[in-house]
Structure 1
Amino acid sequence: MTVRFNHTIVAAKDKVRSAHFLAELLGLPEPQPFGHFLAVQLSDGATLDYVQTPDDFPGQHYAFLVSEDVFDALIARIRARGIQHWADPRGHHPGEINTHDGGRGVYFQDPSGHYMEAITVPYGGWK
């Protein structure tokens, strides 16, 4: 039997703004309505289902393994839009990317305060 990740619900202050922000930065298809959610479909078929809530919620961490060309486009969009980004999760290296495990990585926040990470090589390297 196989186990694959299918979807998760992402709380948002403004689901339209947050879903479009992520889809545009990562070069993903236009978010699609699904019931009261707005779904961002990833390349492997999994979705991030954004739901709007008036409640306070803590920022969560979402990490994406991306190809080199997607990373190039992502970092270009981040820089062109003046989006604050860091090489590390604690924000000690602003405006930089990292080169962990022989790849590249970057951290940034979405409009709802979630911490997004994009890496080109999984932690520990390819095995």
Structure 2
Amino acid sequence: MIELDHVIVNARDRVASARLLASLLDVPWDETALGIFSAVYVNPGLTLDFITTDEDFPVEHFCFRVSDAEFDAILKRLEDAGIGWRGDVRGRNDGKVGTAHGGRNIYWDEPDKHRWEILTKSYARRPG
């Protein structure tokens, strides 16, 4: 089986971006992993390595499948942090929760414009 180990995420401020995501997901992070990264340890098999750059970079989309309890907790942390969200991938933050595909999902944009998503039921799995 092939598993994704880590992803490098470009940021204007790697520490601030990593700290924010780690706090919202309630996962550990390391401000100076390998000296140039701020690592967010999403789970035992996946790390997001934030790196600071002044170069242009594309907006990326990252989606995390979570339990219903984790969904509720993350939604509360977004609310407490004053970060808006929406139930659709595009559009304005309207505070709505998407319910397509038999689960719940929301999207929010972080300061560098990367688009984060949490969902309780994957719609990206291969059928069967």
TM-score by length of 2: 0.89
Residue 23 of structure 1 corresponds to which residue in structure 2?
A: 22
Residue 117 of structure 1 corresponds to which residue in structure 2?
A: 117
Residue 75 of structure 2 corresponds to which residue in structure 1?
A: 75
Structure 2: gaps (5+ residues): none
Asked which structure has the greater RCO (Cα within 8 Å, sep 6+), the reply is: 1
TM-fit CA distance, 1:47: 0.6
Q: How many residues align?
A: 126
TM-fit CA distance, 1:31: 3.0
CA distance in 2, matches of 1:124, 1:81: 29
CA distance in 2, matches of 1:124, 1:30: 27
CA RMSD of aligned residues (A): 1.8
What secondary structure, in the 3-state scheme, does the structure 1 residue paired with 2:43 have?
A: coil
Question: Mean alpha-carbon deviation: is it higher for 86-95 or for 63-72?
Answer: 86-95
CA distance in 1, matches of 2:92, 2:60: 19
Residue 96 of structure 2 corresponds to which residue in structure 1?
A: 96
Structure 1: gaps (5+ residues): none
8 Å Cα contact 1:9/1:49 also seen in 2: yes
TM-fit CA distance, 1:32: 4.7
8 Å Cα contact 2:18/2:40 also seen in 1: yes
Q: Percent identity?
A: 38
TM-fit CA distance, 1:30: 2.8
User: Counterparts in 2 of 1:15-54, with a 5 A limit?
Assistant: 15-35=14-34, 36-54=36-54
1:93–1:14 Cα change, 3 Å: closer
TM-fit CA distance, 1:20: 0.7
| Mapped pair 1:5 → 2:13 | no
TM-fit CA distance, 1:62: 0.6
Residue 87 of structure 1 corresponds to which residue in structure 2?
A: 87
TM-fit CA distance, 1:58: 2.0
